[in-house]
Structures are given as structure tokens and as C-alpha cells.
Amino acid sequence: MSKDYYNILGVSKSASDNEIKKAFRKLAHKYHPDKGGGDEAKFKEINEAYQVLSDKQKRGQYDQLGSTFDQAGGGAGQGFGGFDFSGFSGGGPGGIKFEFGGDGGGGFGDMFGDLFGNRNKEGDGQEKGNDVAVDLNISLEEAAIGIEKEINIYLSSVCSECKGNGAKTGSKTITCKTCHGAGQIKKERRTILGIFAQMEVCQDCQGQGEKPEKNCGKCGGDGKVKENRTIKIKIPAGIADNQTIRLSGQGEVGFRPDSGKSIPGDLYITIYLNQHSLFERRGDDIYYKLEINFSQAALGDKIEVPTLQRKVELKIPSGIQSGKIIKLKNKGLPHLQGRGEGDMFVVVIIKTPEKLSRKQKKIVEELKREGM
């Protein structure tokens, strides 16, 4: 049954590249297998959808083929969805064989490679390790000044025993006997269009073309092991809630990381701001509710109020009304992408006393007679 990639990511068919990326990151954070409550099957499905919709060419093919994207239905000669197969070996269904290269520059080789499970490659042919997504909570005060944090995460790192080459100490590297050094093997799949010959990554050497004569006892020949790693993160002043920081190359290492054919993935840290007991953030501005009594409102006063940096003296003008807002310039958060700071807005709330003493009642009654 075909998959609705837009539905998987929870976006519309008219979604922009940025909307697709945001949806993917949100779902990846939620379902990543390394997180508590993660779902590996769901994560793979999300990643599959993103790999297609984030690529303009693949997305165009998917949109044109519609719900038959993974079934490839269509008539002879013209292939399916209006695409012409004449440039390939053969021309239509019914037992005819189509040849697709494993490392071509896009087109149907890429599209079918994704559907049939090709490994994720960078543009220069390097295999990239898995990206890692983590969440980090900070306080509003920390967001205001910027801070360096340390996080401890469990992920694939270079094996300390073999230094990433996967070989047992003293063992040499030999040409893979399965693929004879090509790093790929040819497999055929029968579909309703006919037989497709697809070049796939050799599972014996994982696409390297060579392998250790004897595998490292610690990593089993992968050159990587799962372990806890402590990483320092610099969080800039003014960072917004739910904003993501990308640390390039700080994700999981790939297969045999010392081979030159593998590069590490990236680390994505999504910052969440803890709810503050005093302040409400709106963009780079903050709001603070100040309760004053009737006499302060009527006569005016000077009151010490907190800010994100330190306490300051606030002048309350006489006759102020409840709900009036007093602005403290540059007492908000710094602008992340430019100079200056936001402002702090003090919302004045006049508190009516619930109980009055006999003396207070007498004074209020006198004010009432005076028309106040």
C-alpha cells in the first residue's frame, strides 16, 4: 500500500521547504530511538518521508506519481506517470529488465534507490552517520545572558580499541570477497513493471570494498561503539523557546570512521525555556504584573521591582489606573540577530483589600463622602 508522505509529516501538499523541515525535526525529536518513548519504526518512516519531500526532484516525482509512487503503475512504452523509459535498457513491463546505476546523479536511480533501501550518501559519496536530536531546558535568565551547558548523550563514537578502522590489532585489511572491492552488488527485483536490476551496498563490507582480515573484538569490525559522550554547547543570549541549535559533526559516527568514506552526523539541540514564576516572554520583551494598593495608586510611589538582571526602582505616578502599563526600556532579552534589547512592561494591578479594620473603614467612608 502506498504511503502518504505529507500525512506522515503532518503537512499540506503546498508546504514550503521550511515547513517540511520544521515538521520533520519536531517528529524526529519525539520518536528518535535513543530517547525515552522513542519509536524506531516510526522514526524510519518519518525519515523516509523527509528524504523524499526535502529533495525537489524526488518531491516532484512523488507529486506527479501521486498515490502510486511506490507501486509505479503505468502503461508500456511510456512507463508510468508520463515518464519515458526509452533511455534505459528495455522499454516497458512484462518481464523486461530495467538497469539502474547505484551512484547516478539523480533521476530514477535515486528514486528507486530510496524505495529499495539505498544507504544515505553525501554528495561526494561519503556515508554520513546518524543525526542526533536532544532537548535541553534552560531558564529565562540563562536565555537573557547566554550560557554554556554540558550534556551527556549516549551515541555511536569512534572505537578506542581499533581507532575506527574495525581491525584487530596487527590484522591487515583485505579486499571484500563478496563484492570484489566494488562496494556494491547487483540485485534484481520483480515488480509489475518487470525486473529491475539495482546496484546495492554490499552488506559484507558495508560499501567500503575492503574489510579487516580479523575484526576488532570491541566493535566487531564496525569501527564504532555506543558510549556516553559529554558535549559542551554554547547557547547564545536571546535564544527563543523551541529554537534548534545545530552542531555539525557532533552526531553519531558512520561505519569505519577512519576510512575516509564516512563522516559523522550532526547534533540538533532544541532549546526549551522553563516557565517563569514572575515574567512572561513575548518575543524579546517581558511582562511583569505589579500589584499595588489603593493609596499607592492614588498618591503615587516608588517601588523596587525585579528585572532579568537586577532589581530597579520604578516610579508609580499618582492617579494611575489598574491595567496601566509602564515601560522599562532595554530591560528585556537581547536581540539574537542584532544589537539592542527588548523592553520590560510592568502591568499595574490595583489590589482591593478583602478585609478592613475599623479605622480603615472609617477612612474609606470619609473618602466616599468626599466623592472618591
Per-residue model confidence as pLDDT tens digits over 329-345: 999 999 987 789 999 99
Proportion of the chain in helix, strand, coil states, percent, rounded to 5: 20, 30, 50
- DSSP letters of 112-142? HHHHTTPPPB-TTS-EEPPPEEEEEEE-HHH
- Quick one: pLDDT at residue 244? 92
Q: How many structural domains compose the chain? A: 1
**Mean pLDDT, to the nearest integer, of 28-57?**
82
Place 66 in a pLDDT band, splitting at 50, 70 and 90: low
- Residue at 34 is within a domain: no
φ, ψ for residue 133 (rounded to 5)? -120, 130
- Quick one: pLDDT at residue 82? 35
**Mean pLDDT, to the nearest integer, of 3-12?**
90
pTM greater than 0.85? no
- Quick one: pLDDT at residue 78? 33
- Quick one: pLDDT at residue 69? 52
- Quick one: pLDDT at residue 303? 95
One-letter amino acid of 293:
N
Cβ atoms 43, 32 nearer than 8 A: yes
* Residue 222 falls in which region: left (phi positive, over 0), alpha (psi -120 to 50) or beta: alpha
**Mean pLDDT, to the nearest integer, of 15-32?**
86
Place 233 in a pLDDT band, splitting at 50, 70 and 90: very high
- Residue at 99 is within a domain: no
Report helix, strand or coil for 248: coil
- Residue at 17 is within a domain: no
- Quick one: pLDDT at residue 162? 87
The residues with which 344 forms a beta bridge, in sequence order, are 286, 328
**Mean pLDDT, to the nearest integer, of 118-122?**
50
- Residue at 258 is within a domain: no
Which is it for strands 127-128 and 262-263: parallel, antiparallel or unpaired? parallel
φ, ψ for residue 109 (rounded to 5)? -60, -45
- Quick one: pLDDT at residue 125? 53
Domain that holds residue 310: 279-369
φ, ψ for residue 285 (rounded to 5)? -95, 155
- Residue at 36 is within a domain: no
- Residue at 339 is within a domain: yes
Considering the chain, what percentage of its residues have pLDDT values greater than 90? Answer: 33
- Residue at 302 is within a domain: yes
- Residue at 314 is within a domain: yes
CATH for 325: 2.60.260.20
